[in-house]
Structure 1
Amino acid sequence: MKIKILITGSNGLLGQNLIELFLKDTKNYEIFGFSRGENRSGRTDFEYQDIDITNQQLLAKKTKQIKPNFIINTAAMTNVDACENDKVGCYDLNVNVVQYLAAICSEINAHLIHISTDFIFDGKKGNYTEDAVPNPLSYYGETKLLSEAVLQKSAINYTILRTILVYGLVNDMSRSNIVLWVKESLERNKEITIVDDQFRTPTYVEDLALACKISIDKKATGIFNISSNQLLSIYEIAQEIAEVFQLDKTLIKPISTSTLNQTAPRPPITGFDLTKTNKILSFYPKSFKEDLQRFKQKLI
């Protein structure tokens, strides 16, 4: 009996990576994708539906027709400043949709895998464990924390994967990410300014997709941290990108966060403790530099 997996936000960076990963094993998995607009994955060997998942009745109807064993919810409003400017839209996608999915999962006995973020923390300490006390600084962080609470209060089987600064490349991307933006800017010999007082452990999208699959295969429940294993400033991240892709580092200029006047505040230092992920998922993320080398091989 094949495991049925429904991926919401299947056109996105993580969504497309999940499709590629699971379609390598069509003997064991049957894949369904929900997203807005046309199927952008370039794959036709799975069932795709153009659907507005904020429509509760439509989402329930279409999901119950499939009766998935697992739902991986990758859909979210993640532009931190846009969330601050459109709180209604942000809440709708980041919280209401999770409530709808939890209710559906309860009805059809499905397991929900949900993606969360380091932005639920205030960034005063860094190296956060799964049970560290959250204190979001932005509306985006607030909604992601509320979405976690929805699942924790529910009686369904759920897995929350918290992640940081996801990057990678897929077919027909709707938005860029830190690695592609730095790489493409430097390739054009464009000078860029990067903050040197925010610290992160970036996540290669293939690792996040693999963590979703491991969670399914192990039927792991609860909260897990997924990111690379070395804390770097965003300026250092840009320097590493230049080094790995053999581009001109001198084009990267450090600046402080205070000079940016961003709409939403960002946590200064995040990064994750990966002990629980290592122990329970048997998953051992590598350094950003090692992940970048893997990414570079994929681009060749």
Structure 2
Amino acid sequence: IIHKLSHREKLRAFKDVLFSPILVNDLAEILFKLEEKKFAGTIHIASRESCSKFEFAKSIAKIFNLDRTLIEPISIDQLKLKALRGKNNSLNVDRAEQILNMKLPTVEDGLKKMHELKLKDFIWELRNG
């Protein structure tokens, strides 16, 4: 999304597909906390809220100061996909928050943190080794 918008390329994003994205850095921190607690079992780790792919792309554009008009909302139903996909892929993190005794980050929290890391060239250092 960032690459396309940075290069002024149009982007189509689903307005009717929900998910709960989380910054991988936050995921790693949470996994370390679960290890410290000696947690064993199945648990959902994701952002505290869900959003559509379209809302997510718009939020990225806003936080990274990119052109939101390049993002076009579409329905997943408009595509003739060979494999059917669910529209609600969001996860409930109530159990994780209870076990960890903390609120998991929101989508916006993760995007703001990602932007801060980009400003520090953190992402590009990792990518370029």
TM-score bracket, normalised by the shorter chain, equals 0.7 to 0.9
Displaced runs of 4+ in structure 1, greater than 4 A?
none
Greater relative CO, 1 or 2 (CA 8 Å, sep 6+): 2
Which residue matches 1:186? 5
| 1:195 matches 2:28 | no
Provide structure 1 residue ranges, at least 5 long, that are not aligned to the other structure. Answer: 1-181
Contact 1:226–1:274, Cα closer than 8 Å, also in 2: yes
Structure 1 residue 184 displacement after superposition: 0.8
In 2, are the aligned partners of 1:220 and 1:281 still within 8 Å (CA)?
no
Match of 2:62?
243
Question: How large is the RMSD of aligned CA atoms in angstroms?
Answer: 1.3
The equivalent residue for 2:122 is none
Quote the residue 2:94 is aligned against: 275
Structure having the higher strand fraction is 1
- What percentage of residue pairs aligned between the two structures are identical? 27
Which consecutive residues of structure 2, in runs of 5 or more, have no partner in the other structure?
Answer: 120-129
Match of 1:216 among 28, 35, 51: 35
Contact 1:190/1:251 (CA < 8 Å) preserved in 2? yes
Deviation string, structure 1 residues 248-292 (Cα, Å, up to 9, x no partner): 111000111122222322210122222211111224212111110
Higher helix share: 2
The residue number in structure 2 matching 1:98 is none
Report what 1:260 is aligned to: 79
Amino acid at match of 1:209: A
Q: Deviation digits for residues 204-252 of structure 1, max 9, x if unmatched?
A: 1012112221121111111111111122111000000000001111100
Residue 227 of structure 1 corresponds to: 46
TM-score, length-normalised on structure 2? 0.85
State the TM-score, normalized to the length of structure 1: 0.38
Q: 1:225 is paired with a residue of what secondary structure?
A: coil
Cα shift readout 1:85-109 (whole Å, capped 9, x = no counterpart): xxxxxxxxxxxxxxxxxxxxxxxxx
